[in-house]
Amino acid sequence: MQQTGFNINNRRYIGSKTKLIEWIFENLKLQNIKIVCDIFAGSGVVSKQFTNIPQITNIILNDLLYSNEIIYSAFFLGQDANFKLLNELKDFFNNDIKLAQNYFSDNFSDKFFSHNDCIKIGSIREYIDTLQLDDIYIHILLASLIYSMDKISNTVGHYEAYRKTQIPQDKFVFELITPINHNKKIEIYRLDANQLAKNIKADLVFIDPPYNSRQYSRFYHLYENLVKWEKPRLSGVALKPIEENMSEYCRSNAAHVLSDLVDNLDCKQIVLTYNNTYSSKSSSSQNKISFNELKSILTSKGKLKIIEKKYNYFNAGKTNFDNHKEFLFLVEVK
């Protein structure tokens, strides 16, 4: 059956390398690379690009977030799933599901989504919980729910805040994701990168950590909550649960933590992405690791090459040149 749903890059994700992916891959030397590890995989778009490289046999994805783990499973392990069944469920969710007040509507109504959309989202989530299906089907349904929500949420793309100037309209439609077709062996982890680094061997490790104080588990708390469905009490304007999965890369000892990660890697090549917001005006977007600290951490591991790209981004209706640069650090390990 033809599938026309969401692709992995159809999601807003802070720090996603979607727009830089061609530039990154143009600069990689992958001739002798078979096993790759995307150790801060985020949206998963870098790993998706690795599936297009013929000589690569194994891809290891890792991230701290529960919702990302589910999304990787759906996109990278879902290609043999029965979409006839999934399409029937999609139609049922959009047309016939019994709607009732629920945890999601009690907490989020008219904030991140309209009241009616919250009733739908929460009712679908409750229904998914009752299904007796293999894990891969549950993962595809949850990933599809997240992508369908991202498409209409009353936010700038994360859940630190919602737009208060407008009351959200009823817009929610459940659409399925389309798993990636590939012939690679996939391993998925939800571990602290520093812990995983001690236990894997790969030819190439792709490193793209957070570089400022903003925690991904707080940005995407709503998806973490939805996936886990433990219905915790929420607080604050953004209705977050208590803190979990806070990253050391967002704290002042980030350089030390990265140095420990790099020390423990058993690989032939390291690829790391970085941008020059180290001295940004807003303190929350200032980098925790400086360019020179990075250089010294990576030089200790092997021969370092640095490639840069001027990156002009569009901001609030004005083109903001701001001297923004993206860097690719490539290390041939000693």
Ligand X SMILES: C[S@@+](CC[C@H](N)C(=O)[O-])C[C@H]1O[C@@H](n2cnc3c(N)ncnc32)[C@H](O)[C@@H]1O
Q: Which stretch binds ligand X (CB under 6 A): 43-51, 73-81, 133-141, 234-242?
A: 43-51
Please list, in sequence order, all residues whose beta carbon lies within 8 angstroms of the beta carbon of residue 55, skipping any fewer than 6 positions away.
30, 31, 33, 34
Residue type, 241: P
Contact 164, 134 (CB under 8 A): no
**Side-chain-facing half-sphere of 78: CA atoms under 13 Å:** 26
CB of 290 to ligand X, least distance (A): 17
Instruction: Pick the closer one to ligand X by CB: 5 or 209.
Output: 209
Strand partners, 187: 60
For the CB of residue 117, give the shortest distance to ligand X in the complex, in Å.
26
In angstroms, what is the minimal distance from the CB of 39 to ligand X?
A: 7
For residues 196 and 316, what is the distance between their CA atoms, to the nearest angstrom? 39
- Pick between residue 97 and residue 186 the one whose CB is nearest to ligand X: 186
Contacts of ligand X in 7-36 (CB under 6 A): 13, 15-17
178: nearest Cα among 91, 81, 38: 81
Task: Give the shortest CB-21-to-ligand X separation in angstroms.
Answer: 8
**C-alpha–C-alpha distance, residues 133 and 125, integer Å:** 14
Closest-CB residue for ligand X? 42
Nearer to ligand X, 17 or 120 (CB): 17
Give the nearer residue to ligand X in terms of CB position, either 162 or 189: 189
Residue 78 as a binder of ligand X (CB under 6 A): the answer is: no
40 lies in the site for ligand X, by CB under 6 A: yes
Q: What is the DSSP string of 51-75?
A: TT-TT--EEEEE-S-HHHHHHHHHH
List beta partners, residue 304. Answer: 331
Give the nearest distance from C-beta 322 to ligand X in angstroms. Answer: 19
Give me the least distance between CB of 128 and ligand X, in Å please: 23
Q: Which amino acid is at 155?
A: T
Applying CB under 6 A, among 28, 49, 50, 63 the residue interacting with ligand X is: 63
Least Cβ distance, residue 44 to ligand X (angstroms): 7
The interface with ligand X within residues 239-258 (CB under 6 A) comprises 247-249
Collapse the DSSP code of 220 into the 3-class scheme (helix H, G, I; strand E, B; otherwise coil) and give the result. Answer: coil
Confirm or reject binding of residue 45 to ligand X (CB under 6 A). Answer: yes
Spell out, one character per residue from 206 to 245, where the chain touches ligand X: x when CB under 6 A holds, - when not. --xxx-----x-----------------------------
Distance CA 74, CA 129 (A): 16
Q: Which is nearer to ligand X, 17 or 288 (CB)?
A: 17
Give the torsion sign (CA, 234, 235, 238, 241): negative
Rounded-to-integer distance, Cα 101 and Cα 282, Å: 40
For ligand X, which is the closer residue by CB, 33 or 45?
A: 45
Residue 134 CB contacts under 8 Å (≥ 6 apart), including other chains = none
Give the binding site for ligand X (CB under 6 A): 13, 15-17, 40, 42-43, 45-46, 62-65, 68, 192-193, 208-210, 216, 247-249
